[in-house]
Structure 1
Amino acid sequence: MLYYVLKAISFCVCALPRSLSEILGRGLGCFAWLVVPQKRKKLAMDQIRMCLDVSEQEARRIARESSVRFGPMLFEVLRFPVIKKKPEDYVRIEGLEKLHAGLAEGKGAIIAAAHSGNWELMGGAFALAGIPLVGVAMKQKNSAADRFINEYRTMIGMHITYKTGVREMFDMLKKGWVIGLIMDQDTNRHDGIILDFFGRPTNCTPGAASMARFQGVPIFPCFMHRDEKGNHTLVVHDPLYVEKTADKRGDIRRTTQKINDIIEGHVRKYPEEWFWLHDRWKSVRDEFSPQEIELARKD
């Protein structure tokens, strides 16, 4: 039932003028901020002040904008049937030629992205620009919602696999596809490595560097930002190549740290667009002792 409700909502949103869709999306985001638990708001503000060294008032503004933007972002996803017809009206891509040059090697590539801007639209923008993109998704708990979002992702040109589909990712890389990975969320102590992020020990996922090293493919950090009119700029950074020395762990750590540094630079430039409500340092706080953190940073 939920699937058909979402389809009906999407149909109505697609029928709206873009300007009205923006207004309604913003309104939904403002309402969402009102119902965010105070504990979660405080977490976001504490992380912002810890990372950006801003006043409490400025931290609250950034936290609020970071949350409110999910309204317009959701409406853009619902408007995928409209956006796919003229994606250039919504997204401008800078540096696409870098990605094409990397793919010309015939071995595929990896995109390292973050929960900044509309990352769902980013994947679609690349696919509609002719990039054979595999979006790596987390399976939704609700099967109807999962069916809906994956249908819209494929509608806009992406091939979708779940995070558990590692074998499929490698197979697609070998065929020359681009694997899109989001690199900025917390993970568990067994799957992550402790590196620096905003000057603090942070548990980071090494997936992009590990996969790139194994397959010998470039990593392209890519991020979107949105202006006040609702237009997006998608920036493709220069490729990173993972060294392949006898020290496999060191090779992966160095490249993942470079990715972290690029993500940090983007977040500092566009702090309102990052997902501050996510508890980025939870595993470091709950699963590691100070001694383990210190040893891991020296590893």
Structure 2
Amino acid sequence: MTPVEFAYLAGWRAVRALPRPAAAALFRAAADQAYRRRGPGTLRLAGNLRRVVGPDLPESGLEDLVRRGLRSYARYWLDVFRLPSRSREQLRDDFRLDGEELLAADMTAGRGAVVALPHSGNWDAAGAWVAANGWPIATVMERLKPEGVFERFVGFRRRLGMEILPTHGGARAPFEVLAERLAAGYLVPLLADRDLSARGVEVRFFGGRARMPAGPALLAVRTGAPLYVAALWYDPAGPRGRLTGPLEVPAADTGPLDQRVRTLTQRIADHLAEGIAQRPEDWHMLQRVWIDEPGISAGTPGSAAGSAGPAGAGPGTPGAPSMSEPA
């Protein structure tokens, strides 16, 4: 067992053994220490949040936002480590979603739905809530090293009731499997605010150039499944969410497939930005997002229509696989 794998295993076991107030204090102290150390992740978070809030927020205000952002990220990990000990009823009670009735109608009708998510709030709690409601759910997870950590995260999410597909190394391309699952009435949530493949769709995001995965839009265009965008955040009582949609999908007679996917991906980006701007402290993005920063090459964007292969998306911390997207 590698040290990283041991650390995650210890986290899952130790945190569940502690009373929640004691565990929360421990994680909050760790977040404050990370803030004081000013490591690469903290500095990246500060840069990303500056993009969100703009130049007018004083530096003292940004620093307070970064501190709260790290505490929110620590709260995410605290909740993740404690999720396996929660009952089905508790998982349903822990998370609240504005727009729940929209998904309930889709699931009842058996038509499936795609939900584009940000790295905000607690997306694992949202997925556990879906499964606890008895709705079939399938998603994609980035495959990172060490393999033992990846396998533990796969097992953790599968025990919560999610079907997990690896971004690569599986028997079939994840896009094909997700399209089949949508046809069978599954909910498919995909993290959609950052693309690592260099094949993503270029969008305008908080006034800058960024890439986002084509997967959510491409699935909606090709399958006809309704597409929603979620805002995720924390309030004092727990993780919360809100759905926007279903988004209008460009009709086939409005242009070629790649153009329609790009148009729809920009709509996703706009709605993601709205949710992040309302609760920037809960956006857990400790990695680069924008391609117009110094030293970042835009490269040659790939065709959205031809990018149905797997691509990974990181969660903002090394070694912690996140639900990703089939870009």
Partner of 1:224: 232
Partner of 2:315: none
Q: AA paired with 1:64?
A: R
Tell whether 2:263 aligns with 1:263. Answer: no
The CA deviation string for residues 108-154 of structure 1, in whole angstroms up to 9 with x for no partner, is 21110010111222211221122211121101211121122111111
**Quick check: 1:45–1:56 contact (8 Å CA) kept in 2?**
no
Tell whether 2:69 aligns with 1:62. Answer: no
Partner of 2:250: 243
Match of 2:297 among 277, 283, 287: 287
**Quick check: 2:201–2:265 contact (8 Å CA) kept in 1?**
no
What CA distance in whole angstroms lies between the structure 2 residues aligned with 1:193 and 1:89?
36
Q: CA deviation at 1:78?
A: 1.2
State, as a whole percentage, how many aligned pairs show the same letter: 24
Match of 2:80 among 70, 77, 96: 77
Q: CA deviation at 1:266?
A: 0.7
More helix by share: 1
Q: AA paired with 2:51?
A: M
Change (3 A) 1:35 1:148: farther
Q: CA deviation at 1:283?
A: 7.0
Partner of 2:307: none
Q: TM-score, normalised by structure 1?
A: 0.86
Mean CA deviation greater in 129-138 or 220-229: 220-229
What CA distance in whole angstroms lies between the structure 2 residues aligned with 1:107 and 1:98?
12
What CA distance in whole angstroms lies between the structure 1 residues aligned with 2:44 and 2:81?
29
The CA deviation string for residues 204-263 of structure 1, in whole angstroms up to 9 with x for no partner, is 22211111100111112123211235x122222221242232412232122211111111
Change (3 A) 1:106 1:117: same
Q: Following superposition of structure 1 onto structure 2, how do residues 105-254 of structure 1 map, counting pairs within 5 Å?
A: 105-164=109-168, 165-189=174-198, 191-229=199-237, 231-246=238-253, 247=255, 248-254=257-263
What CA distance in whole angstroms lies between the structure 1 residues aligned with 2:79 and 2:235?
14
**Quick check: 1:84–1:156 contact (8 Å CA) kept in 2?**
no
Q: CA deviation at 1:89?
A: 4.1
Q: AA paired with 1:222?
A: A
Q: CA deviation at 1:50?
A: 3.2
Please state whether the residue corresponding to 2:250 is helix, strand or coil: coil
Change (3 A) 1:48 1:89: same
Change (3 A) 1:34 1:141: farther
The count of corresponding residues between Structure 1 and Structure 2 is: 288
Change (3 A) 1:105 1:244: farther
What CA distance in whole angstroms lies between the structure 1 residues aligned with 2:156 and 2:184?
24
Q: TM-score, normalised by structure 2?
A: 0.80
Structure 1 residue runs of 5 or longer lacking an equivalent are 294-299
C-alpha RMSD of the superposition: 2.4
Mean CA deviation greater in 256-265 or 70-79: 70-79
Change (3 A) 1:78 1:40: closer
The CA deviation string for residues 55-85 of structure 1, in whole angstroms up to 9 with x for no partner, is 2111222222222322221121111122234
Q: CA deviation at 1:203?
A: 1.8
What CA distance in whole angstroms lies between the structure 2 residues aligned with 1:166 and 1:178?
14
**Quick check: 2:73–2:284 contact (8 Å CA) kept in 1?**
no
**Quick check: 2:291–2:298 contact (8 Å CA) kept in 1?**
no
